[in-house]
Amino acid sequence: MRILGIDPGIATIGFGVLDADRDSVRLVKCGVIETPAHTALSARLEQIYDDMLDLLELFKPDAVSIEELFFNTNITTGIAVAHGRGVILLACRKAGVTVYEYTPLQVKQAVVGYGRAEKKQVMEMVKRICRLSAAPRPDDAADAVALAICHARSATSLLFKGDRETCSTI
């Protein structure tokens, strides 16, 4: 199964592509989509949409794993991220790829085994699980790989039922 993990944003969107089966995962590619600062929101959203369509066409994932929106303290940033996430979801829909959504807690639980893990622990486990010499950079790319790992672990579980648009870690 090929999984595209997406860490949504507006300035920087992380992506990670994994090939996964019941026994292993293999990192195919990871990186970021960046939109220029001081650019109209509509132009940034258009770029995210176009770049997402390019990623979906290039890697042809079986599924997309994306982080659910989580508002911390900065509501303004959260709203901008929500705009970006919306066009990402639209691009996936237009490409006919099923989207699975996970909370940060679910991702940490699936990757580290502890839902309150620190970012450093997640990065170290991404490195180990993918058998890399170093954690992916920048952090947005590593987060996207963690999202893909989360879905790989859920989707290859015997308890997974792939007919849902959202799914929880089991």
CATH number, domain with residue 107: 3.30.420.10
| pLDDT band with cut points at 50, 70 and 90 for residue 163 | very low
Write the pLDDT tens digit of every residue in 64-112.
Answer: 999 998 766 666 777 888 999 999 999 999 999 999 999 999 999 999 9
Amino acid of residue 72: N
Question: Is there a catalytic annotation at residue 46?
Answer: no
Contact yes or no for 2/61 (Cβ under 8 A): yes
Does 167 score more than 50 pLDDT?
A: no
What is residue 22's predicted lDDT score, i.e. its pLDDT? Answer: 82
Among 51, 101, 140, 143, the active-site one is 140
Question: Is there a catalytic annotation at residue 7?
Answer: yes
**Residues comprising the chain, all counted:** 170
Amino acid of residue 56: L
Rounded to 5 degrees, φ, ψ at 111 are: -90, -40
Among 51, 67, 101, 143, the active-site one is 67
Name the one residue in this structure whose structure tokens are 């486990």: 125
Question: Is there a catalytic annotation at residue 67?
Answer: yes
What is residue 156's predicted lDDT score, i.e. its pLDDT? Answer: 67
> 4: which strand partners?
17, 64
What is residue 73's predicted lDDT score, i.e. its pLDDT? Answer: 62
Is residue 167 in some structural domain? Answer: no
Contact yes or no for 83/12 (Cβ under 8 A): no
Name the one residue in this structure whose structure tokens are 């990186």: 31
Contact yes or no for 99/66 (Cβ under 8 A): yes
Is residue 70 in some structural domain? Answer: yes
Question: What's the number of domains the chain is made of?
Answer: 1
Rounded to 5 degrees, φ, ψ at 131 are: 55, 55
Contact yes or no for 65/106 (Cβ under 8 A): no
Among 7, 51, 101, 143, the active-site one is 7
What is residue 165's predicted lDDT score, i.e. its pLDDT? Answer: 46
Is residue 163 in some structural domain? Answer: no
* Structural domain that includes position 91: 2-155
What is the pTM (predicted TM-score) of this model? 0.89
Write the pLDDT tens digit of every residue in 15-69.
Answer: 999 999 988 999 999 999 999 999 999 999 999 999 999 999 999 999 999 999 8
**Pairing state between β 63-67 and 98-102:** parallel
